[in-house]
């Protein structure tokens, strides 16, 4: 009868997370360009105000689902 031991476990490097999955659309964007969904920006609201360089803009979603940006 042979004495079979389980292989010894040594401290290994911490498991690395897999690289983030990217879609083909995201890969097509120029370097430094981010893509956000309108849902992420509006967060359930129909209209938000955006302040940019001292001016206030309104981003509004229409009943047809289109976006309108006005100053």
Domain boundaries of the chain, sorted by first residue: 37-70
pLDDT of residue 12: 52
Average pLDDT along the chain, 71 residues, taken 10 residues at a time:
53 57 60 92 96 97 96 96
Q: Which residue in the block uniquely carries the two structure tokens 């097509």? A: 28
Q: How many helices (H) and strands (E) does the chain have?
A: 2, 3
Of 42, 40, 71, give the one whose Cα is nearest residue 54: 71
At 64 the three-state DSSP class reads: coil
Q: How many residues does the chain have?
A: 71
CATH T-level topology, domain 37-70: Complement Module; domain 1 (2.10.70)
């Amino acid at each position: 009868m042979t004495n079979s031991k389980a292989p010894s476990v040594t401290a290994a490097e911490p498991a690395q997370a897999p690289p983030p999955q990217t879609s083909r659309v995201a890969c097509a964007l120029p370097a430094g360009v981010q893509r956000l969904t309108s849902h992420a920006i509006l967060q359930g609201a129909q209209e938000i105000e955006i302040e940019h360089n001292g001016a206030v803009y309104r981003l509004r979603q229409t009943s047809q689902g289109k976006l309108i940006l006005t100053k």
